[in-house]
């Protein structure tokens, strides 16, 4: 990829924007899961591609911009995505690949500055205020990041540069895909006020409807409303919305924000009442959660299961273990006990989930063996499985009971 391709598509005719007061970057990968899949399917570049479980009740995890032009977006039911873009290629997700690329991208960020706050596997905030003396201006650092991501992984990212996290995130969204947008401190109001009010953090569908009823459609409209009026209508959130409308957001970049929990859940392709099938899915989920725990360097003490009935009633059960663990065998055993204790034998389930909570760094956790108790070796065995999966893919090593299944769930 040439240097010119890494520059913003439409440079300002007034010259480079003043980024001297803009230490915050929001870096967001473009159609991340789909972009990673295209590395293995270069023949599909430039065509509509959707990543997600292909079943009727699956959802879209990611879509190329060619598919998005038809209205496809993440979290859309796969059945609707197929209707509006029937020519799209559907690719089942490969979570292991995404985790590996995400880890490498975060390492690029960490090499720039220790002030990195990951938001998800494909986006993060960076405070580069301390790195500018060493590497150059904020926009130069943003181009450096974009170039390294493209060179190392062959995918693109968009970067917003601003004086606050809120404005930087909006800027990265505005310049997608494969763009860079600097919003100088002096131009924040000019940038914000034409945007739809739904662009503000905290404005969901209901809040947007309430604002529109008051005649507030843009951020600029909101900025002109007295704070007292907004507080009367929306309580404490009113003052927050007013501050955002004027670009006031003093939240710092918080590096290494610890995970509060790690979990996965699956929706069956049709409702299931067979305990053996449900337990096989609990095993698969336990394997995935344990692998994610080890990859993150965590162990957890509390196992939680989520069981959603066919009528959408959701039941959760949890249990705190004597010792923290990242071993799938232990997580699975506890998950099965919680399922059995829920009294849902032969009850039709639509979804099951497994989650580990009460996390702590694995390095700080020690296992107390009882008198005469021996190490089982399960953790070491599962670590060896992790290595095989990273090298050969997610299907390389699996428990025997998961090799053949009558039907499969759909990743959410």
| Per-residue pLDDT at 387 | 54
Report the C-alpha gap between 360 and 362 in whole angstroms. 6
Report the C-alpha gap between 326 and 341 in whole angstroms. 23
Tokens of 217: 């459609």
| Per-residue pLDDT at 39 | 94
Which single residue is written with the structure tokens 């096989």? 280
Report the C-alpha gap between 378 and 376 in whole angstroms. 5
From residue 109, how far is each of 94, 96, 285 by CA, in Å? 23, 20, 30
| Per-residue pLDDT at 3 | 31
Longest dimension (CA), the chain: 76
Tokens of 196: 């739809």
Q: Where are the beta strands (DSSP E) in 112-208?
A: 116-120, 123-127, 157-162, 180-182
What residues are annotated to the active site?
123
| Per-residue pLDDT at 294 | 87
CATH number for 261-411: choose from 3.30.1490.100, 3.30.230.10, 3.40.50.970, 3.30.2130.10. Answer: 3.30.1490.100
| Per-residue pLDDT at 388 | 54
| Per-residue pLDDT at 401 | 54
Give burial (CB, 10 Å; 0-12/13-18/19+) of 261.
middle
Assigned CATH for 193-245: 1.10.150.20
Q: Domain boundaries in the chain?
A: 1-185, 193-245, 261-411
CATH topology of domain 1-185: Alpha-Beta Plaits (3.30.70)
pTM of the model: 0.65
Q: What is the CA radius of gyration of the chain?
A: 24
Contacts of 370 (CB under 8 A, 6+ apart): none
C-beta of residue 263 within 8 angstroms of C-beta of residue 354: yes
Q: Which DSSP category does 347 fall into?
A: -
The enclosing H or E element of 272 equals: strand 261-272
Strands 261-272 and 349-361 turn out to be antiparallel
| Per-residue pLDDT at 298 | 87
- Spans of the chain, pLDDT less than 70: 1-16, 56, 257-259, 364-412
| Per-residue pLDDT at 224 | 94
Report the C-alpha gap between 127 and 254 in whole angstroms. 9
Helix, strand, coil share of the chain (percent; to 5): 40, 20, 35
Helix, strand, or coil here: 368? coil
28 is in an annotated binding site: yes
Give the DSSP letter string of 16-72.
Answer: S---TT--EEEEEESSHHHHHHHHH-GGGTTS-EEEE--STT-BEEEE-HHHHTTT-
């Amino acid at each position: 990829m040439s240097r010119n391709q890494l520059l913003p598509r439409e440079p300002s005719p007034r010259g480079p924007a003043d980024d001297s007061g803009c230490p915050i970057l929001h870096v967001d990968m473009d159609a991340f899961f789909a972009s990673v899949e295209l590395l293995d399917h270069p023949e599909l570049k430039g065509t509509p591609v959707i990543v997600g479980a292909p079943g009727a009740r699956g959802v879209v995890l990611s879509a190329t911009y060619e598919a998005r032009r038809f209205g496809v977006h993440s979290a859309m039911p796969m059945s609707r995505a197929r209707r509006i873009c029937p020519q799209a290629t559907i690719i089942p997700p490969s979570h292991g690949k995404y985790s590996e690329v995400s880890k490498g991208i975060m390492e690029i960020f960490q090499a720039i500055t220790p002030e990195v706050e990951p938001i998800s596997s494909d986006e993060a905030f960076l405070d580069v205020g301390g790195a500018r003396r060493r590497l150059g201006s904020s926009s130069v650092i943003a181009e450096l990041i974009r170039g390294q991501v493209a060179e190392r992984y062959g995918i693109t990212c968009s970067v917003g540069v601003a004086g606050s996290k809120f404005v930087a995130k909006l800027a990265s969204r505005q310049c997608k895909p494969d763009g860079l947008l600097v919003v100088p401190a002096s131009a924040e109001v000019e940038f914000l006020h034409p945007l739809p009010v739904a662009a503000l953090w905290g404005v969901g569908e209901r809040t947007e409807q309430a604002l529109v009823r008051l005649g507030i459609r843009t951020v600029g409209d909101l900025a002109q409303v007295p704070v007292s009026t907004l507080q009367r209508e929306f309580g404490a959130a009113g003052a927050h919305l007013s501050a955002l409308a004027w670009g006031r957001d003093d939240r710092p970049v918080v590096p290494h924000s610890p995970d509060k929990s790690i979990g996965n859940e699956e929706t069956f392709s049709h409702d299931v009442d067979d305990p053996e099938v449900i337990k096989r899915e609990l095993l698969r989920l336990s394997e995935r959660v344990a692998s994610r725990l080890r990859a993150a360097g965590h162990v957890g003490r509390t196992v939680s299961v989520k069981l959603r009935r066919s009528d959408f009633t959701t039941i959760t059960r949890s249990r705190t273990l004597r010792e923290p663990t990242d071993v799938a065998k232990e997580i699975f055993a506890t998950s099965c006990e919680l399922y059995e204790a829920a009294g849902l034998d032969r009850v039709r389930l639509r979804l099951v989930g497994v989650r580990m909570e009460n996390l702590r760094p694995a390095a700080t956790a020690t296992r107390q063996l009882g008198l005469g108790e021996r190490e089982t070796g399960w953790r070491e065995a599962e670590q060896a499985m992790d290595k095989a999966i990273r090298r050969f893919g997610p299907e390389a090593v699996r428990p025997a009971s998961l090799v053949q299944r009558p039907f499969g769930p759909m990743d959410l």
